[in-house]
Amino acid sequence: MAEMNAEFRGYRSPLSTRYASKEMQYLFSDQHKFSTWRKLWILLAKAEKSLGLDITDEQIGEMESHIEDIDFKAAAAEEALTRHDVMAHVHVFAKQCPLAAPIIHLGATSCFVGDNTDLLILKEALEQLLPKLVGVVKQLAHFAMQYRDLPTLGFTHLQPAQLTTVGKRCSLWIQDLLMDERALRACRDNLRFRGVKGTTGTQASFLQLFAGDGAKVRQLDQTVTKLAGFERYYAVTGQTYSRKVDLEIVSALASLGATVHKMCSDLRLLASRKELEEPFEQTQIGSSAMPYKRNPMRSERCCALARHLITLQANAANTLAVQWLERTLDDSANRRLTLSEAFLSADACLLTLLNISQGLVVYPKVIERNIAQELPFMSTENVIMAMVKAGGDRQVCHEKIRVLSHEAGAQVKQHGKDNDLVERIRADPYFAPILGQLGSILDPKTFTGRAADQVVEFVNEEVNPVVALYGDKVVTKSAQLNI
- 287 tagged catalytic: yes
Predicted confidence at residue 281, as pLDDT, reads: 58
Predicted confidence at residue 181, as pLDDT, reads: 98
**Spatial distance between the Cα atoms of 30 and 230, rounded to a whole number of angstroms:** 23
Region 91-109: mean pLDDT is 94
Predicted confidence at residue 453, as pLDDT, reads: 97
Asked if CATH classification 3.90.1200.10 holds for the domain at 110-146+166-280+295-363+463-470, the reply, yes or no, is no
CATH topology for 28-106 is Fumarase C; Chain B, domain 1 (1.10.275)
Tell me the domain boundaries of the chain: 28-106, 110-146+166-280+295-363+463-470
Residues 6+ apart with CB under 8 A from 253: 184, 309, 312, 313, 342, 343, 345, 346
Predicted confidence at residue 177, as pLDDT, reads: 98
Region 440-448: mean pLDDT is 86
pLDDT at residue 119 tops 50: yes
Residue 170: CA count within 13 A, CB half-sphere:
30
Predicted confidence at residue 431, as pLDDT, reads: 85
Residues 6+ apart with CB under 8 A from 301: 19, 348, 352
Q: Average per-residue pLDDT in the chain?
A: 91
Predicted confidence at residue 336, as pLDDT, reads: 93
Q: Tell me: the pLDDT tens digits for 355-389?
A: 999 999 999 999 999 998 888 777 777 888 888 99
Predicted confidence at residue 282, as pLDDT, reads: 46
pLDDT at residue 288 tops 50: no
Do residues 266 and 299 make contact, with C-beta atoms less than 8 angstroms apart?
no
Report residue 126's pLDDT band, with 50, 70 and 90 as the boundaries. very high
From 50, 65, 272, 287, active-site residue: 287
Please state, for a pLDDT cut of 90, what percent of the chain lies above it. 72
What are the two backbone dihedrals, phi and then psi, of residue 164, each rounded to the nearest 5 degrees? -130, -160
Ranking 52-61, 109-118, 131-140, 395-404 by mean pLDDT, the lowest is 395-404
**Spatial distance between the Cα atoms of 15 and 316, rounded to a whole number of angstroms:** 19
**Spatial distance between the Cα atoms of 79 and 268, rounded to a whole number of angstroms:** 49
Predicted confidence at residue 423, as pLDDT, reads: 84
Q: How many CB atoms lie within 10 A of CB 133?
A: 27
Q: How many CB atoms lie within 10 A of CB 244?
A: 12
**Spatial distance between the Cα atoms of 247 and 260, rounded to a whole number of angstroms:** 20
pLDDT at residue 298 tops 50: yes
pLDDT at residue 285 tops 50: no
Ranking 27-41, 256-270, 370-384 by mean pLDDT, the lowest is 370-384
Report residue 302's pLDDT band, with 50, 70 and 90 as the boundaries. very high
Please state, for a pLDDT cut of 70, what percent of the chain lies above it. 95
Establish whether domains 28-106 and 110-146+166-280+295-363+463-470 are of one fold: no
